Amino acid sequence: MSGRIFPTAQDAENAFYDALERCDLDGMMAVWAEDEDIVCVHPGGARLTGQDQVRESWGRIFAAGPRARVHITQQVAISAMMLAVHSVHENFTVEGDARAQVPMIATNVYLRTAAGWRMIVHHASPAPVQAAPVQPKEAAPKFLH
Amino acid sequence: MSGRIFPTAQDAENAFYDALERCDLDGMMAVWAEDEDIVCVHPGGARLTGQDQVRESWGRIFAAGPRARVHITQQVAISAMMLAVHSVHENFTVEGDARAQVPMIATNVYLRTAAGWRMIVHHASPAPVQAAPVQPKEAAPKFLH
């Protein structure tokens, strides 16, 4: 597993979406905590838990190679000392496909570990097809302490 | 808003599903933090933020009156001092409908406030129709400190 250290939850989130765009499996797994309680729900998918299931699922997703770009909007972030929760809209654009994609709604949870911040939960589900963003709010992160 | 105090995140979660079963809007909103950054994603729905949107959505859901029971299984819980994250399967049974329902996968996040633990995120999405539970694991809650 990578020894990469993310000093903030936002750094981990940036690395997550960077790895996702690049279909970089090692980069993706370097973002996740080395913990059997990690939880990953892909859009329309079952709940996966633990390193093996999560790695295997990203491996399948990445097998087709990089085709999509993702632009993150409408982040709501709530941070405490050891855990941080980010709710975001993932806006994908697919190479060679000009159609607008439905955004995915993701809840991402990060844990502060001895090796920096790591992802412990990624739960994504498609927004309704016709839903415009309910509130175009760019909230400032909230820090509890 | 209710002055009800939940001493643990689990107490808040129990009250959440109790209010959901009883279609008790005041009971439901008593579980949520009084915070404009609360986030609620109903299955297939858009992301809702803030007390007004969240209350309005539950009001619509509860308008039909209580018909369903919900049984929570496969909880994975990760708790820190100020935030707790629970991933659960929500297994609904609908009165007068013997068909098995697809479980919902929910990520619930709780915040320790001055008034006890309150919900700040509820993100639910349907599990795939044919997915058996991937891992029938009843994990013990993990406490970080």
Per residue in A76-134, pLDDT (tens digit) is 999 999 999 999 999 999 888 877 788 999 999 999 999 999 999 999 999 998 645 55
- A144:B111 CB<8 A: yes
**Cα–Cα distance measured from residue A118 to residue A143, given in angstroms and rounded to the nearest whole number:** 17
pLDDT of residue B66: 85
- A76:B37 CB<8 A: yes
ipTM, two decimals: 0.88
User: Quick count: other Cβ atoms within 10 Å of Cβ A72?
Assistant: 17
Helix (H, G, I), strand (E, B) or coil at B38: coil
What would the pLDDT profile of A15-24 be if each residue is shown by its tens digit?
999 999 999 9
Helix (H, G, I), strand (E, B) or coil at B10: helix
CA distance to partner chain A, nearest, from residue B3 (Å): 21
Question: What is the pLDDT of chain A when averaged over all its residues?
Answer: 90
**Cα–Cα distance measured from residue A52 to residue A66, given in angstroms and rounded to the nearest whole number:** 22
| Percentage of residues of chain A with pLDDT beyond 90 | 74
What would the pLDDT profile of B66-76 be if each residue is shown by its tens digit?
888 999 999 99
H-only helix segments in chain A: 9-22, 25-31, 50-62
E strand or H helix that includes residue A60? helix A50-62
Residue linked to tokens 């175009």? A136
Closest CA to B78 of B10, B7, B5, B6: B10
**Cα–Cα distance measured from residue A64 to residue B113, given in angstroms and rounded to the nearest whole number:** 45
pLDDT of residue A98: 78
Cα of A32 vs its chain's centroid, Å: 10
Residues of B within 8 A of A144 (CB-CB) are 82-83, 111
- A121:B85 CB<8 A: yes
Quote the tokens at residue A145. Answer: 């302490």
Residues of B within 8 A of A145 (CB-CB) are 82
Closest alpha carbon within chain B to A141: B37
Assess A57–B contact: CB distance below 8 Å, yes or no. Answer: no
For testing the chain B interface, which of A47, A72, A88 should be mutated: the one with the most B CBs within 10 Å? A47
User: Quick count: other Cβ atoms within 10 Å of Cβ B31?
Assistant: 25
Distance of CA A32 to CAs A8, A112, B90, B104, Å? Answer: 13, 11, 25, 24
**Within a 13 Å sphere around the CA of A120, how many CA atoms are in the beta-carbon half?**
27
Question: With 70 as the cut, is the pLDDT of residue A143 above it?
Answer: no
E strand or H helix that includes residue B84? strand B83-94
pTM listed for this prediction: 0.89
Residue ranges for chain B with pLDDT beneath 50: 1, 136-137
